[in-house]
Structure 1
Amino acid sequence: MDKDFDKYNDVSEMLKVLSHPVRLCIVRGLLEHGACNVTYMQDCLDTPQSTISQHLQKLRTAGIIEGRRNGLEIFYKVCNEQVENLIKLFFGENN
């Protein structure tokens, strides 16, 4: 067995961030629809803007998504290939 717990810790932290249903939904939605802004997510999820923003912050901090500013709006997209592969696996979307 590999006793390098640092790499297990990194994966564990990523899975913790993904373990919330709203965050899973956000990540899957970004993968399906491409870059989206908070307003679009808010409308799709019927969830308050402040709640969406809190979830986005956790996903950004974990290095799962990144934002690109366009004027006053920020468009988010998934930037972690490992997470992209996991989401496809979780939802049976691998080719």
Structure 2
Amino acid sequence: MLIEPSSHKEAVKVYKALGEPSRLSIINLLCQHKELSCTEIEQRLDFKGSTLSHHLKQLLDCGLLDLSRKEGTYHFYEVNKDMLKRYVALTVE
């Protein structure tokens, strides 16, 4: 069995999130860094604030991202490597 029936809803959320090119770009970028702030992600991927916020929420909701810390008004995000490894066949360092 590929995915346990109890995890079907989780799998659908993860694959739906990864199926959107902008969210996949965010994951790819964050896999290359320990963590990045919203501002750093915006600048590197040329996203607008509200668009990035929407994509980050989707990635947080499905468990692919974690809010690693807050520093003043800055939020820093990192990839949840365990979750990503569960659904994507690649090496995450």
Work out which of the two has the higher radius of gyration on C-alpha atoms and give 1 or 2. Answer: 1
Q: What is the DSSP-based 3-state SS (H/G/I as helix, E as strand, rest coil) of the residue aligned with 2:29? A: helix
Q: In the TM superposition, what whole-angstrom CA distance separates every residue of 1:32-54 from its partner, at most 9, and x where no partner exists?
A: 01200111111111111110111
**Could you tell me which residue of structure 1 aligns to residue 35 of structure 2?**
35
33-42 vs 75-84, which deviates more?
A: 75-84
More helix by share: 1
Q: Which runs of 5+ in 2 are unaligned?
A: none
**1:63–1:80 CA contact under 8 A, matched in 2:** no
Q: In the TM superposition, what whole-angstrom CA distance separates every residue of 1:12-33 from its partner, at most 9, and x where no partner exists?
A: 2210111111101101111101
Q: What is the DSSP-based 3-state SS (H/G/I as helix, E as strand, rest coil) of the residue aligned with 2:70? A: strand
TM-score for the superposition, normalised by structure 2: 0.80
Spell out structure 1 runs of 4+ moving beyond 3 A: none
CA RMSD of aligned residues (A): 2.3
- Count matched residues: 89
**2:30–2:78 CA contact under 8 A, matched in 1:** yes
Distance 2:44 2:82 in 1: 24
1:78 aligns with 2:70: no
TM-score for the superposition, normalised by structure 1: 0.79
Q: Which runs of 5+ in 1 are unaligned?
A: none
**1:31–1:84 CA contact under 8 A, matched in 2:** no
